[in-house]
Amino acid sequence: MTAREQQKPVQAPPPGLRSAKWFAGKDVPGFVHRSAMRASGFSRMAFEGRPIVGICNSWSEVVNCNMHFRGLADSVRRGVLAAGGFPLEFPTISLGEQLMKPTTMLFRNLMAMDVEESIRAYPFDSVVLLGGCDKTVPAQLMGAASADVPAIVLTGGPAAPAVFAGKQLGVGTDLWEYIDDVRAGRMSMVDYERLEAAAGPSRGHCPEMGTASTMATLVEGLGMTLPGTAAIPAMDSRRMQAAEECGARAVGLALEGLRPSDVLTTEAFDNAITLMLAVGGSTNAIVHLLAIAGRVGVPLSLDRFHEISARTPLVVNVRPAGQHLVEQVFHAGGIPAVMRSIESLLHVDARTVTGKTVSENLPAGAAADTSIIAPLSSPFQPAQGLAVVRGNLAPLGAVIKCSAATPELLVHRGPAVVFENMKDLLARFDDPDLEVTPDSVLVLRSAGPRGAPGMPEWGQLPIPTKLLKTGVTDMVRISDARMSGTAYGTCVLHVSPESAAGGPLGLVRDGDVIALDAFAGKLDVLVSEAELEARRAAPAPPALNRPVRGYAALYVDRVLQAHQGCDFDFLAGRSQNPADEPDAVFDGWVGGW
Ligand code: FES
């Protein structure tokens, strides 16, 4: 036997390491597991006795926003090694917002399951979660929360800003305007193609406060990443440095045993919601936060969003609610400066993955540029940027982003123009004979979690072309869909229960008067209860697109409604089963030989 074959561990495993169950034994399982590692080319001195840090990488060539993650994973790896751990990178399914059909939201829970089971099944002592594009971050947080192995998030950072016709673009926000310009004949197809080429100048997630930047921001608010990392531009070398630091910190988490359930507390969710409102973040984050809270058993309802909205003003001047991109927010001090501004609204004693409290993590002093990050005493918009509305049209709630709406439309009555589903909408919104006026309320149904399925971002219904050409730029729109974080307009979203689950949105008919009062939190169709009952008794039209096989069939059977976060019913809540504990998965036996 050669000296190399006789390799001994260079150090005894620190007490309590989960990976020791795999690698420390002198029995057959220990032999098999070490042998598998050595078959990968890892010597015993490299991994044995060291914290094993999983790098959960959502890199994929079909997810352009996460295309730089291979390099970022290398940086994490350096940090892990420098701190005395051993990194093992593993892939999961990834979700590319633009290429994946019918909608990434359909697959968020699938990715969360992949992440959870991968973390639990392998010998990781802690995990670094590399996510960026919209659904990848919530899916990783949901999975990591359920696995409850120590974890830290590293987001991919905002892409470099696109420049078109001398103007700096927010990819999503400006695109919606240009699409309307094309439809109204104000932009040529030649310019439109030039725009297409210019829209994505670098890797990284969308550079305004869309869903991806919102989720990155909320990761800081939840205390699940290192302070100051969310807004570092994707291509800035400081992001790679932050990746090294996250890798090193993951080793510390493994040794300390600080788990997601220690960080994701009621106070952490309050902080995240407050931050979401302070930056004018995406309504999609509401669904994701509800789902993540559900995974750790934190009771969170839509009402909490309404309450926190009532006291939290907009203090960040970033698109779509403001003028700048996330890169400018970074240069003004980043999310720590935002949190310093709203410090009096936060639970500053909440614990974070740094091992310190929010208060201990906060920087000294005000933001570098108060025209981008304002003090709480002089915000850019008053509180109530978001409202939760209920009524006979949304008994379990719906949401409206008031900060992105036309103020005069937030209290409005108008006759409904109903679209049965997206197919119906696409067939008719260009029709010059469509009976619609600027006062009409556009209604889209069959766009929720079960109905679409997957609750796509259809909630910013297009303004009918004949109105658009007369200069109408906004109308009240109501649906059981979501809306892109970069979109705007007076759009009531996430109506729950959805029409496909028997919700009253399915009972509205053309011409019914709908009354919205966002300030009073009301949304009603002014039809008698007796009439609604009679309509309910009538046979429902057959559901479109109802999947009958595979994952999609499971999804429509078991998905919860929007006010519950659209998680699966069998994944919500903290498991009381000891078999789900991170250490319980190891049964001490071996397979595969
Ligand atoms: Fe991936 Fe916007 S499309 S972050």
Strand partners, 366: none
Mean pLDDT, consecutive 10-residue segments, the chain of 593 residues?
50 81 92 96 96 98 96 98 98 96 97 97 97 98 97 97 83 74 85 87 93 98 98 98 98 97 98 98 97 97 97 96 94 97 98 98 88 97 96 98 95 98 94 96 97 96 93 96 91 97 96 97 97 90 79 97 98 81 70 55
Beta strands in 147-252 (DSSP E): 151-155, 162-164, 167-169
- Whose CA is closest to atom 3 on ligand 1? 97
CATH code reported for the domain at 386-537: 3.50.30.80
Q: Are strands 52-57 and 513-517 parallel, antiparallel or unpaired?
A: unpaired
Q: Do domains 50-160+202-361 and 386-537 have the same CATH topology?
A: no
* Residue 306 and residue 300 in contact, taking contact as beta carbons nearer than 8 Å: no
Does any ligand 1 atom lie closer than 6 A to the CB of residue 210?
A: yes
Looking at residue 367, its pLDDT comes to 81
Does any ligand 1 atom lie closer than 6 A to the CB of residue 134?
A: yes
Looking at residue 184, its pLDDT comes to 79
Does any ligand 1 atom lie closer than 6 A to the CB of residue 425?
A: no
**CA dist 202 → 198, 208, 231, 455, 472 (Å):** 10, 14, 15, 29, 34
Count of helices and strands (H, E) across the chain? 21, 14
- Cis peptide bond upstream of 542, omega within 30: no
Mutate to test the pocket of ligand 1, among 133, 174, 202 (most ligand atoms within 8 A of CB): 133
Got the DSSP string for 119-171?
Answer: HHHTT-SEEEEEE-STTHHHHHHHHHHHH-S-EEEEE--BPPPEEETTEEE-H
Local structure of residue 451 (DSSP, 8 states): T
Looking at residue 300, its pLDDT comes to 97
**CB neighbours of residue 284 within 10 Å:** 25
Got the DSSP string for 55-81?
Answer: EEE---TT-GGGTTHHHHHHHHHHHHH
Does any ligand 1 atom lie closer than 6 A to the CB of residue 212?
A: yes
Q: From CA 384, how far away is CA 405, in angstroms rounded?
A: 12
Measured in Å, residue 18 CA sits from the centre of ligand 1 at 35
Strand partners, 524: 515
State the burial class of residue 236 (Cβ atoms within 10 Å of its Cβ: 0-12, 13-18, 19+): middle
Torsion of CA 309, 314, 315, 320, to 10 degrees: 130
* CATH of 50-160+202-361 given 3.40.50.970, 3.50.50.60, 3.40.50.1110, 3.40.50.2300: 3.40.50.2300
Structure tokens at 113: 């399951």
Measured in Å, residue 324 CA sits from the centre of ligand 1 at 17
Mutate to test the pocket of ligand 1, among 134, 209, 215, 282 (most ligand atoms within 8 A of CB): 134
Q: From CA 396, how far away is CA 406, in angstroms rounded?
A: 24
Measured in Å, residue 25 CA sits from the centre of ligand 1 at 45
Measured in Å, residue 198 CA sits from the centre of ligand 1 at 15
- Whose CA is closest to atom 2 on ligand 1? 206
Does any ligand 1 atom lie closer than 6 A to the CB of residue 98?
A: yes
Contacts of 489 (CB under 8 A, 6+ apart): 404, 405, 406, 460, 474, 475, 477
Q: From CA 136, how far away is CA 130, in angstroms rounded?
A: 8
State the burial class of residue 166 (Cβ atoms within 10 Å of its Cβ: 0-12, 13-18, 19+): exposed
Instruction: Collapse the DSSP code of 519 into the 3-class scheme (helix H, G, I; strand E, B; otherwise coil) and give the result.
Output: coil
Looking at residue 173, its pLDDT comes to 66
Measured in Å, residue 83 CA sits from the centre of ligand 1 at 32
**CA dist 151 → 21, 58, 131, 354, 383 (Å):** 19, 15, 13, 11, 33
pTM as predicted: 0.95
Instruction: Collapse the DSSP code of 102 into the 3-class scheme (helix H, G, I; strand E, B; otherwise coil) and give the result.
Output: coil
Rounded to a whole number of angstroms, the CA Rg of the chain reads 25
Measured in Å, residue 206 CA sits from the centre of ligand 1 at 5
Looking at residue 95, its pLDDT comes to 98
Looking at residue 1, its pLDDT comes to 47
Atom of ligand 1 at shortest range from CA of 212 = 4
**Nearest in space to 357 (alpha carbons), one of 437, 265, 489, 283:** 265
Looking at residue 593, its pLDDT comes to 53
Atom of ligand 1 at shortest range from CA of 66 = 1
**CA dist 448 → 212, 497, 501 (Å):** 21, 9, 9
Measured in Å, residue 158 CA sits from the centre of ligand 1 at 9
Contacts of 28 (CB under 8 A, 6+ apart): 590
- SS3 for 462-497, per residue? CCCHHHHCCCCCCCEEEECCCCCCCCCCCEEECCCC
Got the DSSP string for 106-120?
Answer: HHHHHHHHHHHHHHH
Q: From CA 570, how far away is CA 578, in angstroms rounded?
A: 16
Atom of ligand 1 at shortest range from CA of 65 = 1
Measured in Å, residue 178 CA sits from the centre of ligand 1 at 18
Measured in Å, residue 66 CA sits from the centre of ligand 1 at 9
Structure tokens at 140: 């990783």
Q: From CA 413, how far away is CA 42, in angstroms rounded?
A: 68
Does any ligand 1 atom lie closer than 6 A to the CB of residue 65?
A: yes
Does any ligand 1 atom lie closer than 6 A to the CB of residue 203?
A: no
Going 519 to 522 to 523 to 526, the CA torsion angle's sign is negative
Does any ligand 1 atom lie closer than 6 A to the CB of residue 135?
A: no
CA 401 to mean position of chain CA atoms = 16
Measured in Å, residue 493 CA sits from the centre of ligand 1 at 20
**Nearest in space to 221 (alpha carbons), one of 348, 85, 62:** 348
Mutate to test the pocket of ligand 1, among 107, 206, 217 (most ligand atoms within 8 A of CB): 206
Atom of ligand 1 at shortest range from CA of 205 = 4
Structure tokens at 430: 């260009």
Does any ligand 1 atom lie closer than 6 A to the CB of residue 205?
A: yes
Atom of ligand 1 at shortest range from CA of 213 = 4
**CA dist 13 → 18, 303, 323, 482 (Å):** 10, 47, 52, 48
* Residue 253 and residue 289 in contact, taking contact as beta carbons nearer than 8 Å: no
Reported as type and span, the H/E element at residue 530 is helix 529-537
- Whose CA is closest to atom 1 on ligand 1? 133
Looking at residue 168, its pLDDT comes to 82
Measured in Å, residue 285 CA sits from the centre of ligand 1 at 14
Does any ligand 1 atom lie closer than 6 A to the CB of residue 204?
A: no
Q: Where are the domains of the chain?
A: 50-160+202-361, 163-198, 386-537
Mutate to test the pocket of ligand 1, among 205, 219, 482 (most ligand atoms within 8 A of CB): 205
Q: From CA 485, how far away is CA 214, in angstroms rounded?
A: 8
